[in-house]
Structure 1
Amino acid sequence: MDLLTAAGTYFAEDYREARRKFLAACETAGVAPTSYANPHQGPHGEELATDVAWFGPADARKVLVMVSSTHGVEGFPGSAGQCDWIENGRGALPADVGVLVVHAVNPYGFAWLRRVTEEGIDLNRNWVDFDQPLPENPGYEELHEALVPRSLDETTLAAADRKIQAYREAHGDTQLNMARSGGQYRHAGGVFFGGSEPAWSRRTLERIVAEHDLAGRDLVAVVDYHTGLGPFGYGEPIADHTPGSINVRRALAWYGDSVTQPRLGTSSSVPKTGLAEYGWERLLGETVTFIALEYGTYAPPRGMQVLRQDHWLHNETNVDWNDPTTRRIKAEIRAHFAPQMPDWQEMVLFRSRQIQRQALIGLAAA
């Protein structure tokens, strides 16, 4: 299927449709997914679940894992890329290679159009050891009330923006980005909150890893779909393994010079705490090579504005799904993190197919 047709076929309007498309693709492929029911419901009372499908020999020594919706609302391109692979890219897998597709690891965020889980946790800051002292983020402490004000009235927002701008002028853009998005563990209603314990989505993913004995495989490639950073429509493969490690050397060998590393300052992202790949490393060690496939949308200041609105909505209101304010805020966060334009969607699937192919070739050759 050509890219534009595929984009029109696999991108969904909401979580319900995305899940239907994924389950239908699995049925067509003759694969029965395993569903992990989330204890919450969606805004329309729908069941929420993480659905998982395995392709290839059950005892494959090498595995490609594709994960969608780590950041909830960012699940649209990941879901489309997964369905596209099942129906168009699957073909004959290389010998001794299996594929594990994890659809909607954060189904609550996907359905409610949030980046966080039902606990208010940024899943991609949640992979820390909660038995140890939690990371500190003094920059966030200074900016919390400006980043997530109690009101969206003009006066309050103007004062908040002045405080953020003053921090930028004093410390620079990179330090501001690290303070804002690096991860924080004290403010449950704040942005990029890493939690005080493992989220349901983290526990579920750990269960999936164990049930498929990924720690017992020889090699695992993980592609985790994200959006919101970088040039519009471009898919940046971000590797935040330790620079120079075997994990990142494989990423460079498989995906080429487009691989970026936040710890070396080459990425649209900055260094962060509690990332999923750190969790994968703890579970699998040197056998895992993880990339976040990050698709650019719009400038980060716009992203901060839509996140601010969404956190205010869930912190300060009862979130009436049919209320005009709710509908406006949800439309804006959806538009920022998952643009519904055919050109963006076409670029997403081009890069998705390329990365999937490179991962399978890399696994087969290793």
Structure 2
Amino acid sequence: MDLLTSVAGSFAETYGEAREKFLAALAATGTAPRVYANPNTGPTGEGLACETAWIGPEDAAKVFVVVSATHGVEGFCGSGIQIDWLADEGPARLPQNTAVLLIHALNCHGFAWWRRVTEEGCDLNRNFIDFAKPVPENPGHDALVDAFVPASLDAETLAADEERLAAWRKEHGELAFQSARKAGQYKHAHSVFFGGFEETWSRRTLATIFDDYRLGDRAAVSVVDVHTGLGPFGYGEPICGHKRGTVGLERVLSMYGDSTGLPAEGQSFSIPLHGTQREFWAPRLGDRYTYVALEFGTYSTERGRKALRADHWLHNQGEVDWNDPRTREIKRELRTQYYPATVDWKEMVLWRGRQVIRQTLEGLARFT
């Protein structure tokens, strides 16, 4: 399918529309979804669910998993890529003995409410730690938490907090500041990049999906988890957490080459993070998996910092009135930060998405 034709039809403006388009695209291929209903509702009372689709042989030895909406509002991008693959006759081009598992709207609550976090207020991509062990510490976040998410958004408070953040940033350096802000923290439920006190519904649902599709029995599993908000506008970086010297890293590099981002080696737009989804797949699959977060750039990290600050402040005030003008303003800014929705951005996303899907399937076909 022509890219611009797909741009016009694959993306959505709301979670509900994205869900309808995904289910319609599945129906057109004759594929029935499996529904994992979330117990909560969206901002207009709509039902929420993570839906999955298995395409290919049931006993396929190799499985390509594509995940959308780990970070809720970022699901507009991942959903568009999944729908484009279905509409572009992707199922007809699968290699032998290979299946694709589409996981649509893993964090459906955040998708519907235009939030990065889950209904528990957790950053799902910091939630995959072992809560039976001591949680990671983040003293920088402890020191700055009230400046990251203040009690008020009045001009005087924000000016004072910006001055405080700038001073800490200057004293400790940019890497320390970014680590303090977003590496993951497990103390402050009201703040940003909170990894939680326990497993979230979305994490438990992913575990159920893993078991339902017997992924642990497969010879090889490659996961692409679609994200947005970091890096140059429209560029998709496959960010890899596999360690140097592992089979996983060798396979990732063979798939994506020099475009692979390696945060642990300082070669990525991302920094090393705690509790990412890779920590879900690693203990279950050992050397039989690859995982990358395909991160599409949007606008500046500073714009994102302020958009997240406002959204967390809003939800810290209690029940959110979706129709309130201030709510709508905050939500529009957050959604724009993680889903620019311009034609050129969406075109870049689909082009790169198609490329990474092809690279992943070709890589899986080589693995023995």
TM-score category by the smaller chain?
A: over 0.9
CA distance in 2 between counterparts of 1:116 and 1:147 reads 16
Amino acid at match of 1:281: A
User: Structure 1 vs Structure 2: percent identity of aligned residues?
Assistant: 55
Find the aligned partners of 1:244 and 1:172 in 2 and give their Cα distance: 30
**Given the alignment of the two structures, is residue 82 of structure 1 paired with residue 82 of structure 2, yes or no?**
yes
How many angstroms apart in 1 are the aligned matches of 2:95 and 2:147? 51
Are 1:51 and 2:57 an aligned pair?
no
| Structure 1 SS opposite 2:103 | strand
Residues 56, 91 of structure 2: 8 Å contact kept: no
Deviating runs (4+, > 2 A) in structure 1? none
Q: Distance in 2 between matches of 1:162 and 1:316?
A: 24
What is the match of residue 123 of structure 1? 124
Letter in 2 for 1:35: V
Map of 1:32 onto structure 2: 32
- The normalised TM-score by structure 2 is 0.99
Q: Which moved more, 1:5-14 or 1:237-246?
A: 237-246
Deviation at 1:318, TM superposition (A): 2.3
Task: Specify the alignment match of 1:252 in structure 2.
Answer: 253
- 2:107 is aligned to 106
CA RMSD in angstroms, aligned pairs only: 0.7
Q: Residues 235 and 348 of structure 1 are in contact (CA less than 8 Å); yes or no, is this contact kept in structure 2?
A: yes
Using the size of structure 1 for normalisation, the TM-score is: 0.99
Q: Which residue of 1 aligns with 2:205?
A: 204
Distance 2:304 2:169 in 1: 17
Aligned counterpart, 1:145: 146
Rounded Cα–Cα distance in structure 2 between residues aligned with 1:359 and 1:270:
23
Q: CA–CA distance in 2 between the matches of 1:357 and 1:90? A: 12
Unpaired runs of 5+ in structure 1? Answer: none
Question: Quick one: distance in 1 between partners of 2:56 and 2:318?
Answer: 47
Deviation at 1:125, TM superposition (A): 0.2
d(CA) in 2 for partners of 1:189, 1:286: 37
Q: What secondary structure, in the 3-state scheme, does the structure 1 residue paired with 2:92 have?
A: coil
User: What is the aligned partner in structure 2 of residue 299 from structure 1?
Assistant: 300
Displacement of 1:115 in angstroms is 0.2
Name the CA distance, whole Å, in 1 between partners of 2:194 and 2:277.
14
CA deviation map 1:48-74 (0-9, x unaligned)? 000000000000000000000000000
* Counterparts of 2:77 and 2:93, CA distance in 1: 24
SS at match of 1:286: coil
TM-superposed CA distance for 1:317, in Å, is 3.9
Give the total of aligned pairs: 366
Aligned partners of 1:13, 1:325: CA distance in 2, in Å? 19
Deviation at 1:45, TM superposition (A): 0.7
Secondary structure, in 3 states, of the residue corresponding to 1:91? helix
Aligned position for 2:155: 154
Matching residue's letter, 1:278? E
List runs of 5+ in structure 2 lacking aligned partners: none
